[in-house]
Amino acid sequence: MKYRIEKDTMGKVKVPINKYWGAQTERSRNNFKIGSSASMPIEIIYGFAYLKKAAAHSNCDLGVLSSEKRDLISQVCEEILEGKLDNQFPLVIWQTGSGTQSNMNVNEVIANRAQELAGKIIGEGEKIVQPNDDVNKSQSSNDTFPTGMHIACYKMIIDTTIPGIEKLRDTLQAKSVEFKDVVKIGRTHLMDATPLTIGQEFSGYVSQLNHGLKALKNTLHHLAELALGGTAVGTGLNAPKGYDVLVAKKIAEFTGLPFITAENKFEALASHDAIVESHGALKQLAVSLNKIANDIRMMASGPRSGIGELIIPANEPGSSIMPGKVNPTQSEALTMVCAQVMGNDVTITVGGTQGHYELNVFKPVMAANFLQSARLIGDACASFNENCAIGIQPNYSRITELVNNSLMLVTALNTKIGYYKAAEIANTAHKNGTTLKEEAVRLGYVTPEEYDAWVKPENMIGFLK
């Protein structure tokens, strides 16, 4: 492999000649060989591209950067956002906690690619666009990384998480209406309880997702606040007056999202409560989704020796040894995603505590875990919706069998003969292996006609639809 020589404040470094990055990127690449598949998420790089473009335009508007340099920086940022330079960002999550080396990776790539676009040879002569003085003008890694992080996380929630959840929510809502008259046995403590409808049961799932979506959306205003303009410690040193408001306005324009400058830059650099808050909402959704997926797979268990109340799509063979076996694979995938998100929340919580004086130094791992959670929830909901929820159907014969066989139908007699006599009927029927009706009549507490009139599952589903 051929190399060229790049320089930074610590001296010369050899860099592969076919790469646009420079000395600081190469040093980080060699100093942090941690994790074979722990690359900085590309969404963070795209967040940087938005902010570097916005910074160039703002600096030009404020008279501290030439229009020639602005245009070159902008052109490279567009190439990054188009995915043309994805292989130029090799650094891992496990680096400096401020993300300085990833900031410089972006600065160096933009500067060297700009050199090429200007018709010059990389590594020969003075750079037309300097990585620190031009691409990083009016910035510090301390305010660019949290800005790129917020852009990436906000976009992921809007583009992937919310659409995936809403698809599943809407399907479950349709199923709730479709199955509103399908009476089944309820269960509490995993034991038989009084009846309800599948529609009522599914309406609970819809409500969970609606509350989770509301909680998530309510955190977005905090996530929309950007640190850019705070520079090193939040004072805005070396940034022109008005830059923070203008650059946030430019980012909002370029992304089409409602970003604003953070009201307090000291908070924006030293703490990442917005990330902790928004991921808390993702954790809440993971808890809800775990319950929904588990309920559905347990109600579909069997098909002959389990509960078997629901029929779910048979998407693939379930066993390499048992012919004809089909498993609830979408539920399993979704609950594994939920476990991962809950684990990520622990990492983000710990990361949120690492704001020492004027800087939080767990930025990369917080961003990476957040993005993984947001994408996983969105993708898993879309997958579960398409490959399971849409195809769910009641197993009517099994539902009727289980309802009619339940001892908890005796609850309907409470107001007629009292709790203790009703309990005696249930306990005796269970002991003797007989039906509720047989024991109720034999014990002399009701007549056959009274039993038939009072114990009707369809009349036991209450008035809460």
Binding residues for substrate: 98-100, 140-142, 188, 320, 325-327
Residue 319 annotated as catalytic: yes
Measured in degrees and rounded to the nearest 5, phi and psi for residue 8 equal: -140, -170
Measured in degrees and rounded to the nearest 5, phi and psi for residue 382 equal: -65, -40
Helices (H) and strands (E) in the chain, counts: 17, 10
Answer positive or negative: Cα dihedral of 204, 206, 209, 210.
negative
CB 150 within 8 A of CB 225: yes
Please give the angle made by the CA atoms of 415, 400 and 171, to the nearest 5 degrees.
Answer: 105
Residue 189 annotated as catalytic: yes
Measured in degrees and rounded to the nearest 5, phi and psi for residue 196 equal: -150, 180
Q: Which of 189, 221, 301, 406 is catalytic?
A: 189
Report the DSSP beta bridge partners of residue 197.
183
Element (H, E) at 187: strand 183-188
CB 52 within 8 A of CB 147: no
Query: Amino acid letter at 423?
Result: A
Q: Which of 319, 356, 406, 430 is catalytic?
A: 319
Q: Under 8 Å CB-to-CB from 363, ≥6 apart: which residues?
A: 97, 98, 99, 145, 146, 149, 272, 351
What is the distance between the alpha carbons of residues 115 and 48, in angstroms, rounded to a whole number? 19
Dig out the tokens for 99 from the structure: 């993300």
CB 436 within 8 A of CB 425: yes
Which residue ranges make up the annotated binding site? 98-100, 140-142, 188, 320, 325-327
Q: In the chain, what's the furthest Cα-to-Cα distance?
A: 105
169 φ/ψ sector (left φ>0, alpha ψ -120 to 50, else beta): alpha
- Catalytically active residues, by annotation: 189, 319
